[in-house]
Structure 1
């Protein structure tokens, strides 16, 4: 008889929560049909159903920072999963009233925020003495996010054939994950909390160094811009292929699934990629993002566009785990702050992404979806060139510093 070891059950129950983290935008393919059912609402209002959860993820992260101190990490995560499940499937029941659907999406995002940061924090705490293993598991957490995006998006595409609100049944996946997490993941141990407290006490003087905070803020701004463009691509990919007359809404949903596939691949291979390119991982990823978006604007093949979408997902998911791994190497308080900055930047960018398309249209006087995506691609390419310069200077200074230290010794 095959028995799964309890340690693996704990690990995969913990990682399974990550399947739900990136599930907010998976209903992007529903936007055209939702807009038809609510003709009195602007397209931007309808698109907000995809991105408004990200704004409330920020609120959930901030609430979760306090809530975990009162009821513990496990209870906070379980509460978030409960919000996710109930609010996620709510549009199936009350889909006639746009305001109620909108509110349910807000509470849905709040639920994600309650467990998003804590999953990463639990991984970093458990493996804080093994940075290599920690990097691999943070990459694996990102892979599970991508896997969730693949599976749920493909399911949305099939349920969309019935009607747009039936597709919200995909969020019922939260129920078995909640049950597994409740039974197989132990509550916070006092020893772990004591160790973190001691670590914070003994290194509190180092936290006065403002340089890590400045780096975190800089990466936060960079991530904010990248996320705005990346999520906007998720929103615009279905209208893009419809505008170019090379596919339908189901093809658009499949594009989102392949973005998830790329993210899944990046998560599993992040450990090896990190060892290979180190500090150049961010500019390389931005370069791939920009080139792939350029190709989608000129592509007349659904296969080529699908491949580019997968590369876009891969590139983006190389950036997130790099930042999370970099920040979790700091002392406890700075690691918590860095993770919060990453998640706030990500979700704020995701929330504002529908307005980014409007801003591009007004600034550059373009109207077509193709022109908006192309403009975003050029912005990314310019950022990549700048990023290579910054990474080169940083690496050169680091080598000089190490040489001078060795020479002095």
Structure 2
């Protein structure tokens, strides 16, 4: 759980961008802005490298390698901040470090709780909650350190050092028996008759997640301009909206276990429906309180989707579980990286000329996806009750 605090810590230095741009006047604002998004791209590379590194040195050592890289690359700008190329490279290595342990902590949860799917779902939800908690708390710390200067705020990543020590001394090394038992259990409880069918489902969910992530992150980008366009708030209100998105995500993580118990396969379509409705309400709302509440609902809804996919895929045979979680994390980070271009694409396709129209169009897309999702979830439940495999 402590490792999860660092997973969403890449964008927390976004508030530094104006100050960094002033110190590097010869560097374009676009390049400076990449300091917040480039880690997501290298997270993808880290996830892929972790798949190979795990086989050589094991899960625990791979996670420790990632934590060490996050610590060194994370605080590097605080020590050497006068060369932009080195600053940029450190952010790339920081993302690589996150990628090395992003998937593996999910896999370790799966190994530990492979005999208890309900508890596994709860702990995966907790992992998601701690991601949200880390984003909120570290953002607040950055804001305080930023009062000194922009590069001092990078010391916030020193948190990785005590987490490294705690993981080193208190988490047991990989156990072959545990991994073997988990693999055997996953093999006998697989919901799919063939790896090819499972792969198609995973790729389909990956594409779905990519679309939802681009829309969700784009909302984070557009919420401040939206409320200013409607003359109902200012930049401070927009910052509060983003904080409430994190709060909603935090609540979703803690409640995921119970939600999964009662809703099962309807979680994803319900979450997408709630996401679309809340997003649409923000476009017609004239109240900053209502818009803030909707932002919290949006964070809650989105964070119900990721744990469901991770929990579902870890129920497959060991090889497919690893592939499934990799697909989820690659789709998420690729969507986060490309999200700024989603708005441009929607504007060109639907000829929208205002932020309000852009957000409402994205909301309509989510509602259409939700309607389709309810049909798929209904068929899946029917198949399960009949004891048949579900292949879509």
Match of 1:394 among 356, 380, 390: 380
Instruction: State the partner residue of 2:317.
Output: 331
1:189 paired to 2:175: yes
SS of the residue corresponding to residue 2 of structure 2 reads: helix
Q: Which residue among 53, 59, 66 is the counterpart of 1:80? A: 66
Judged with a 3 Å threshold, the aligned counterparts in structure 2 of structure 1 residues 83 and 236 are, in CA distance, closer, same or farther, namely farther
Counterparts of 1:62-81 in structure 2 under 5 Å?
Answer: 62-81=48-67
Counterpart of 2:280 in structure 1 is 294
Residues 127-183 of structure 1: CA deviation (Å, up to 9, x unaligned) = 101111111111111111111122122333444455544433322221221121111
Structure 2 Cα separation of the partners of residues 214 and 141 of structure 1:
26
1:113 aligns with 2:99: yes
> 1:191-340 maps to which residues of 2 (within 5 A)?
191-196=177-182, 208-244=194-230, 246-340=232-326
Match of 2:343 among 325, 339, 357: 357
CA separation in 2, counterparts of 1:47 and 1:368? 23
Q: How many residues are aligned here?
A: 387
Q: For 1:217-243, what per-residue CA distance to the aligned partner results, in whole angstroms no more than 9, with x for missing partners?
A: 111110011111112222333444454
Report the Cα distance in structure 2 between the residues aligned to 1:44 and 1:275, rounded to whole angstroms: 45
Distance 1:238 1:314 in 2: 19
Inter-partner Cα distance in structure 1 for 2:136 and 2:254: 14
Contact 1:153–1:254 (8 Å) recurs in 2: no
Contact 2:220/2:242 (CA < 8 Å) preserved in 1?
yes
Deviation at 1:279, TM superposition (A): 1.1
Q: 2:361 aligns with which of 363, 368, 375?
A: 375
* CA spacing shift, 1:376–1:43, aligned 2, 3 Å: farther
In 1, Cα distance between equivalents of 2:99 and 2:118: 27
- What is the alpha-carbon distance in structure 2 between the residues aligned to residue 356 and residue 43 of structure 1? 20
Aligned CA-pair RMSD: 2.7
TM score, norm. by length of structure 2? 0.89
Change in 2 beyond 3 A, CA 1:16/1:372:
same
CA contact (8 A) 1:117 1:339 kept: yes
Residue ranges of structure 1 left out of the alignment (5+ in a row): 1-14, 404-409
Alpha carbons of structure 1 residues 34 and 375: separation in structure 2 relative to 1, 3 Å: farther
Aligned to 1:6: none
2:9 aligns with 23
Q: Mark the runs of 5 or more structure 2 residues left unpaired by the alignment.
A: none
2-structure distance, mates of 1:340, 1:299: 38
Matches within 5 A, 1:70-149: 70-149=56-135
Report the Cα offset of residue 200 of structure 1: 8.1
How far 1:280 moved relative to its partner? 1.1
TM-score (norm 1): 0.85
Q: Deviations over 1:355-384 (max 9, x none)?
A: 212222333333443333232222212211
Structure 2 equivalent of residue 55 of structure 1: 41
Q: Could you tell me how far apart the structure 2 residues matched to 1:203 and 1:177 are?
A: 34
SS of match in other structure, 1:210: helix
1:150 aligns with 2:119: no
Alignment of 1:37-52 (within 5 A): 44-52=30-38
Which residue of structure 2 aligns with residue 341 of structure 1? 327
Q: CA deviation at 1:83?
A: 1.3
Quick check: 128-137 or 229-238, which moved more? 229-238
Which digits, 9 at most, give the CA deviation of each residue in 1:92-112, with x for residues without a partner? Answer: 344454433322221111011
Contact 2:187–2:316 at 8 Å: present in 1 too? no
